[in-house]
């Protein structure tokens, strides 16, 4: 009888861990963002994919080293750099800028976008470069974010002609 109880307890624990893994894998919503390193198809893109490769939470020194004329972040902010890869699995060439936009949001619930840029970046993402089918483009984007948002920051993608946001974890 003891063995049956132990087996039942193990089965219950395994079922709970597997049901939790689907949620922790991410659905692309703000409450369940896609995890870093997951390749995700971008809606309305005709076959483009995005992967978040990694982050530099405090990129102040890296941004200054990239160009000595970069301004430092404003008081109470820091530079947050995100490495991304776009993959073209569509049937035609296109530029990344024509797909949609990337922005970030943290617990302040105010978006960081192109107006919160960091200046010249090391290995900056080249959004105007044509990427042909089967090609990929990797580079960094950066936002000057409030320090209080750093721990909760998520990247999100908004398609050009749609308001459906896809969220990506940055930790």
Instruction: Render pLDDT for 45-99 as a digit per residue (tens, 0 to 9).
Output: 999 999 999 999 999 999 999 999 999 999 999 999 999 999 999 999 999 999 9
* Domain segments of the chain as ranges: 1-26, 33-169
pTM exceeding 0.95:
no
H or E element in which residue 155 lies: strand 154-159
Place of tokens 């908004």: 158
Structure confidence by residue, pLDDT tens digits, 116-153? 999 999 999 999 999 999 999 999 999 999 999 999 99
Task: Using pLDDT thresholds of 50, 70 and 90, give the confidence band for residue 8.
Answer: very low
pLDDT of residue 1: 41
pLDDT of residue 164: 86
Please give the CATH number for the structural domain made up of 33-169.
Answer: 2.60.40.1240
pLDDT of residue 156: 98
Characterize the bridge pairing of strands 166-169 and 130-131: unpaired
> Is residue 11 pLDDT above 90, yes or no?
no
pLDDT of residue 161: 83
Query: Are 36 and 24 spatial neighbours (Cβ–Cβ below 8 Å)?
Result: no
> Which tokens belong to 151?
């721990």
Query: Are 142 and 70 spatial neighbours (Cβ–Cβ below 8 Å)?
Result: no
Q: Which of 87, 88, 143 is nearest to 115 (CA)?
A: 143
| Residue scoring higher pLDDT (97 or 111) | 111
* Beta-carbon contacts of residue 48 (< 8 Å; ≥ 6 apart): 41, 42, 86, 87, 88, 89, 90, 94, 99
């Amino acid at each position: 009888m003891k063995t049956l109880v132990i087996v039942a307890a193990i089965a219950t624990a395994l079922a709970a861990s597997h049901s939790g893994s689907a949620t922790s894998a991410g659905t692309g919503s703000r409450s369940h963002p896609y995890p870093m390193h997951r390749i995700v198809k971008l809606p309305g893109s005709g076959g483009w994919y995005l992967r978040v490769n990694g982050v530099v939470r405090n990129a102040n020194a890296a941004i200054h080293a990239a160009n000595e004329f970069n301004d430092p972040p404003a008081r109470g902010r820091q530079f947050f750099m995100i490495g991304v890869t776009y993959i073209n699995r569509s049937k035609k060439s296109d530029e990344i800028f024509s797909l949609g936009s990337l922005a970030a949001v943290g617990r302040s619930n105010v978006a960081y976008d192109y107006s919160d840029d960091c200046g010249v970046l090391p290995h900056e993402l080249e959004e105007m470069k044509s990427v042909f089918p089967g090609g990929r483009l990797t580079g960094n984007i950066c936002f000057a974010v409030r320090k209080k948002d750093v721990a909760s920051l998520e990247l999100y993608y908004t398609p050009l002609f749609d308001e459906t946001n896809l969220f990506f974890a940055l930790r």
